[in-house]
C-alpha cells in the first residue's frame, strides 16, 4: 500500500467512476465530497503526483481535475501552499430571513451557563497529569457502570462537607450529566407519574416523557413546590436550593412536607442541585437529601462549577435504587469516560475544586450586585440570594422581548417555562436573566442595555 498520505496529514477516500472519462469521474468525486461535507472547508488535499499514484491515473489527469474545481470555486490553490477546499457560501445563509435566524446577539444574558472563561485550565492540567501518572493500567479498560471509585470516594467527602449530603461511595453513580441521570431514573421508574415543578425547564419535562415517564405539574409559589398537590405521583423532581426559573428557595416547612410525603407514599424525591454551591446572602442551604437519604435521589454536576463541556455528573441514590440505576447505566453507555473522572477526583482531593468554587462565588456575587444596582430602580428582581440567574418582573413579556431583540440583547422569558402553553390568567410575567455567561468586560454594557429595555416597559 502506498504511504504518501502521511506527507499531507489526511486520509482521503474517493471512488471516481469512469463514466465520461477518468478526469470527469475524478472531478465529480471531488465535487461531491466537497458538497456533502466529507471534505470540510480548509482541508488540504494531496499533491497531484501523490493523488495520481494512489488512484492509478496520470498526473495530468489529477492536475486537470484540480484546475477545473479551482475554476468552479470548490478548491483554492496558492503557490507554495498547495490545494485546499474552499469555503463555500451556505445555501441557508443566502435564503430570505436567514440572517435573523442565525443572528448572534450582541449581549447574551440568557440563563443556564456559567462563565466558561473561568475554567481552571492550569489546575485541571495539573490534576490530569497527576491522575494519568498514577492511574493503574486497568483504568483504560471498560469500567464499573457506577463510575471510578476514586471519583466516588472524592465526591463522598466533598458532598458531605459542602452540601450536607449523606453519600457513601457505594451509593454514588457517575453520569455524563444531569440529563442522563434524570433519564436513567425515569427508565427505572418504568412509566410512572413524575411530578415536575410548574414553572420549570421544558427540556427536562421532555427528557422524562422521552424515557417513558408521565409528567404532571406541581405548582411553585413563593415558598417553593407544593407537596399537597403531588397526588398519586411516584416521584417529584425539585430544585430546592434555587428553584429554576423563579429562584425561590424551598421553605423548611415544604421540605418537611415533601419528605413526609415520600415516606408515607413510598415516593421518590429527585433533587436537582444544579447551582447549590453559589449562595450569597446567608449560609448555604444544605441539600434536601440530608433530611431523607432513603427517599431522595440527589443529582449534581460539574456543569455550573467548571463547565458543561466536561459532561460529568453524579447521583447519590437511595440503597434500593443503586443496582437498578447501575444496570440502566450499563445498558445506556456502559460507563462514563474515565480520564475526566480521575482528573476531577484529583482536583477535589487537592482542594483546587474548592478554591475554584470560592473564587467563582465571589465573582458571581459581584455580578449579582451589579445587576441589582442597575435594575433596582426599574423592576422587581427575585431569586437573587443564590445561583446564576434572577427573575425580573415585567408587565408585558412579549413587548420587553421585542425591545431586547432590537437592542441585540438575548434573555430568557418566564412564559416558556409553564407546563400549559400560552401563560394563563393571573400568571406573573418576567424575564429570566442569567449573569454567568457574559465576559467581565462586556457585562456592565449588557446591564445598561437591559436597563434601557426595562425603562421602556
For 290-318, what is each residue's pLDDT tens digit?
Answer: 999 999 999 999 999 999 999 999 999 99
User: What is the predicted pLDDT for the residue at 15?
Assistant: 77
Q: Nearest 10 degrees: CA dihedral of 386, 200, 396, 374?
A: 10
**HSE, side-chain direction, 13 A CA sphere, residue 328:** 20
pLDDT over threshold 80, residue 98: no
Cell of 227: 407537596
Percent of the chain with pLDDT over 90: 68
Query: Yes or no: is domain 119-351 CATH 3.40.640.10?
Result: yes
pTM listed for this prediction: 0.80
Determine phi and psi for 225, rounding to 5 degrees.
Answer: -65, 140
Per-residue pLDDT of 208-249, as tens digits, reads: 999 999 999 999 999 999 999 998 999 999 999 999 999 999
Q: Which stretch of DSSP H or E encloses residue 64?
A: helix 59-72
Q: Distance of alpha carbon 403 from its chain centroid, rounded? A: 28
What is the mean predicted confidence (pLDDT) over 273-288? 87
User: What is the predicted pLDDT for the residue at 197?
Assistant: 97
- pLDDT band (50, 70, 90) for residue 379: confident
pLDDT over threshold 80, residue 268: yes
Q: How is the chain split into domains, by residue range?
A: 11-88, 107-117+355-455, 119-351
User: What is the predicted pLDDT for the residue at 219?
Assistant: 96
Q: Which of 275, 219, 266 is nearest to 247 (CA)?
A: 275
Could you say which DSSP state residue 140 is in?
G
- pLDDT band (50, 70, 90) for residue 10: low
Compute the chain's Rg from CA coordinates.
27
Percent of the chain with pLDDT over 70: 92
pLDDT over threshold 60, residue 99: no
Most confident of 24-38, 91-105, 280-294, 344-358: 344-358
11-88 CATH fold = Arc Repressor Mutant, subunit A (1.10.10)
3-class DSSP assignment, residue 237 = strand
In angstroms, rounded to a whole number, what is the distance separating the alpha carbons of residues 202 and 419?
A: 8
In angstroms, rounded to a whole number, what is the distance separating the alpha carbons of residues 17 and 20?
A: 8
SS (H, E, C) 260-323: HHHHHHCCEEEEECCCCCCECCCCCCCCHHHHCCCCEEEEEECCCCCCHHHCCEEEECCHHHHH
In angstroms, rounded to a whole number, what is the distance separating the alpha carbons of residues 1 and 9?
A: 16
Query: Yes or no: is domain 107-117+355-455 CATH 3.90.1150.10?
Result: yes
What is the mean predicted confidence (pLDDT) over 417-425? 75
Per-residue pLDDT of 428-441, as tens digits, reads: 899 999 998 888 88
User: What is the predicted pLDDT for the residue at 3?
Assistant: 41
Average pLDDT score over the chain = 89
Amino acid at each position: 500500500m502506498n504511504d504518501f498520505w502521511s506527507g499531507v496529514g489526511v486520509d482521503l477516500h474517493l471512488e471516481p467512476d469512469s463514466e465520461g472519462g477518468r478526469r470527469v469521474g475524478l472531478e465529480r468525486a471531488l465535487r461531491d465530497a466537497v458538497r456533502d461535507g466529507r471534505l470540510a472547508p480548509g482541508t488540504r488535499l494531496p499533491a497531484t503526483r501523490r493523488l495520481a499514484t494512489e488512484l492509478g491515473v496520470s498526473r495530468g489527469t489529477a492536475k486537470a481535475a484540480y484546475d477545473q474545481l479551482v475554476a468552479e470555486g470548490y478548491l483554492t490553490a496558492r503557490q507554495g501552499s498547495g490545494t485546499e477546499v474552499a469555503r463555500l457560501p451556505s445555501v441557508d445563509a443566502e435564503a430570505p430571513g436567514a440572517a435573523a435566524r442565525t443572528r448572534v446577539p450582541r449581549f447574551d444574558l440568557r440563563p443556564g451557563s456559567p462563565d466558561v472563561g473561568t475554567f481552571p485550565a492550569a489546575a485541571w492540567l495539573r490534576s490530569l497529569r497527576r491522575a494519568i501518572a498514577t492511574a493503574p493500567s486497568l483504568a483504560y479498560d471498560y469500567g464499573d457502570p457506577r463510575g471510578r471509585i476514586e471519583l466516588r470516594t472524592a465526591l463522598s467527602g466533598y458532598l458531605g462537607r459542602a452540601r450536607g449530603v449523606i453519600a457513601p461511595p457505594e451509593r454514588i453513580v457517575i453520569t455524563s450529566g444531569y440529563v442522563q441521570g434524570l433519564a436513567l431514573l425515569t427508565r427505572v421508574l418504568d412509566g410512572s407519574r413524575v411530578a415536575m415543578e410548574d414553572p420549570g425547564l421544558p427540556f427536562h419535562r421532555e427528557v422524562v416523557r422521552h424515557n417513558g415517564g408521565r409528567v404532571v405539574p406541581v405548582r411553585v409559589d413563593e415558598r417553593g413546590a407544593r407537596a399537597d398537590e403531588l397526588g398519586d405521583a411516584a416521584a417529584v423532581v425539585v430544585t430546592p436550593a434555587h428553584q429554576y426559573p423563579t429562584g425561590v428557595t424551598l421553605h423548611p416547612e415544604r421540605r418537611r412536607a415533601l419528605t413526609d410525603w415520600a415516606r408515607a407514599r413510598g415516593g421518590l424525591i429527585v433533587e436537582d442541585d444544579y447551582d447549590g454551591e453559589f449562595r450569597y446572602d446567608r449560609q448555604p442551604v444544605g441539600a434536601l437529601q440530608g433530611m431523607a437519604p432513603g427517599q431522595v435521589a440527589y443529582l449534581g454536576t460539574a456543569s455550573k462549577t467548571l463547565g458543561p463541556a466536561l459532561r460529568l455528573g453524579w447521583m447519590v441514590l437511595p440503597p434500593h435504587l443503586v443496582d437498578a440505576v447501575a444496570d440502566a447505566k450499563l445498558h445506556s453507555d456502559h460507563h462514563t469516560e474515565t480520564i475526566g473522572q480521575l482528573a476531577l477526583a484529583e482536583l477535589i482531593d487537592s482542594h483546587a475544586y474548592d478554591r475554584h468554587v470560592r473564587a467563582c462565588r465571589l465573582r458571581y456575587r459581584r455580578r449579582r450586585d451589579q445587576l441589582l444596582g442597575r435594575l433596582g430602580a426599574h423592576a422587581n428582581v427575585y431569586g437573587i440570594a443564590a445561583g446564576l440567574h434572577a427573575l425580573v418582573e415585567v408587565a408585558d413579556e412579549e413587548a420587553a422581548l421585542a425591545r431586547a431583540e432590537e437592542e441585540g440583547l438575548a434573555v430568557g422569558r418566564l412564559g416558556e417555562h409553564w407546563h400549559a402553553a400560552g401563560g394563563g390568567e393571573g400568571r406573573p410575567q418576567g424575564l429570566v436573566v442569567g449573569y454567568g455567561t457574559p465576559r467581565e468586560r462586556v457585562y456592565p454594557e449588557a446591564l445598561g442595555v437591559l436597563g434601557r429595555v426595562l425603562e421602556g416597559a
